[in-house]
């Protein structure tokens, strides 16, 4: 599932591939992918627009076009593929096909159909729109510091894992990296956040950025081997230490990694290294 680092990788790859290209035609094969407007309106707003700039807040991709911003959330399994002029872009899971001015197609694939696309006029303030209603500062935003996290944590009774996953506090961390961040911080994911000090949040934030930055770097190296016909899904090669490692040895102490459920999410933890505060 794409989290901040994968979204960043997808963005950079697409920037490299389609910056400056014009959308000449759109085929919407599954309209529920689009928020608030119908397929016809979506098409009307985007045809003849050019991909100008590429940015991101948390896990949301933002394509700046001439008159509108196209916002995309990949959720669980959303992927963009670029097909060459002579390639067949159709498949069971190809839901939206953007025909480009040079004959290539940008294709949105999504097996579970959880992804969402939003189109907003450039006249409106983007971050006040529905897509960003529950999205706080990006994890790399300078507004996010130890004091901010501490203040946010004070009034919540929730666990560290759920806090890290709460996009309204800090946007970008998903299930995989939340586990890795808790592990690197030597804190049990079920730690109640009101037990944590400002100093703890300093350490947690530092680890968050190290983990995310490391994954972006790993994605960046992977992406060089991508050819245009392969999926632009931001696969990364970062060595995960606990996530999906149930029963395997903890890289620090050698004890077996447990799988538990925290806030309804599958969670991997080393009982020995990660303490409840």
Binding site members: 93, 112, 156
Complex with DNA: residue 18 or 110, whichever CB lies closer: 110
Catalytic residue among 5, 6, 8, 59, which? 59
Complex with DNA: residue 210 or 244, whichever CB lies closer: 244
Q: Contact letters (x/-) for DNA, 199-238, by CB under 7 A?
A: ----------------------------------------
DSSP string spanning 229-245?
Answer: TSEE--------SSTT-
Hey, what are 106's tokens?
């940008």
Contact (CB, 8 A) for 166 and 199:
no
Strands (E) in the chain, as ranges, are 23-28, 53-57, 60-64, 68-73, 78-83, 94-100, 105-110, 116-121, 137-138, 170-171, 231-232, 258-262, 265-269
Residue 162 within binding range of DNA, rule CB under 7 A:
yes
Out of 9, 175, 191, 208, the residue judged to bind DNA by CB under 7 A: 175
Out of 5, 89, 174, 219, the residue judged to bind DNA by CB under 7 A: 174
Known catalytic membership, residue 5 = no
Angle at Cα 108 formed by Cα 124 and Cα 52, nearest 5°? Answer: 45
Known catalytic membership, residue 44 = no
Element (H, E) at 203: helix 198-223
Q: Let me know if 60 is exposed, middle or buried by CB neighbors in 10 A (0-12, 13-18, 19+).
A: buried
Residue 158 within binding range of DNA, rule CB under 7 A:
yes
Residue 157 within binding range of DNA, rule CB under 7 A:
yes
Residue 134 within binding range of DNA, rule CB under 7 A:
yes
Stretch binding DNA (CB under 7 A), from 119-127, 138-146, 170-178, 218-226: 170-178
Known catalytic membership, residue 2 = yes
Helix (H, G, I), strand (E, B) or coil at 83: strand
Dist CA 29 CA 139 (whole Å): 34
Close Cβ partners of 66 (under 8 Å, ≥ 6 residues apart): 49, 50, 52
Catalytic residue among 29, 259, 265, 271, which? 265
Known catalytic membership, residue 3 = yes
Q: Contact letters (x/-) for DNA, 37-66, by CB under 7 A?
A: ---------------------xx-------
Out of 92, 142, 224, 227, the residue judged to bind DNA by CB under 7 A: 92
Residues annotated catalytic, as ranges: 2-3, 59, 265
């Amino acid at each position: 599932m794409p989290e901040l680092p994968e979204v960043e990788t997808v963005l950079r790859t697409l920037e490299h591939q389609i910056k400056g290209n014009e959308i000449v035609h759109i085929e919407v094969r599954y309209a529920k992918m689009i928020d608030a407007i119908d397929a016809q309106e979506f098409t009307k707003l985007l045809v003849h627009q050019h991909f100008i700039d590429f940015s991101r807040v948390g896990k949301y991709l933002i394509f700046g076009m001439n008159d509108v911003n196209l916002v995309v959330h990949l959720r669980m399994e959303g992927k963009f593929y670029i097909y060459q002029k002579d390639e067949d872009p159709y498949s069971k899971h190809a839901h939206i096909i953007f025909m480009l001015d040079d004959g290539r197609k940008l294709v949105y694939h999504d097996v579970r159909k959880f992804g969402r696309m939003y189109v907003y006029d450039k006249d409106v303030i983007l971050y006040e729109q529905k897509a960003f209603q529950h999205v706080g500062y990006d994890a790399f935003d300078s507004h996010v510091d130890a004091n901010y996290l501490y203040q946010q944590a004070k009034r919540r009774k929730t666990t560290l894992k759920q806090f890290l996953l709460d996009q309204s506090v800090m946007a970008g961390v998903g299930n995989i990296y939340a586990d890795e961040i808790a592990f690197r911080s030597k804190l049990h994911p079920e730690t109640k956040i009101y037990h944590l000090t400002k100093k703890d949040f300093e350490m947690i934030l530092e680890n968050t950025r190290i983990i995310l930055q490391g994954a972006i770097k790993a994605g960046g190296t992977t992406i060089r081997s991508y050819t245009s016909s392969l999926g632009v899904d931001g696969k990364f090669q970062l060595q995960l230490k606990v996530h999906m490692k149930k029963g395997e040895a903890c890289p620090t102490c050698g004890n077996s990694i447990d799988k538990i459920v925290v806030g309804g999410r599958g969670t991997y933890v080393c009982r020995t290294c990660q303490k409840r505060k």
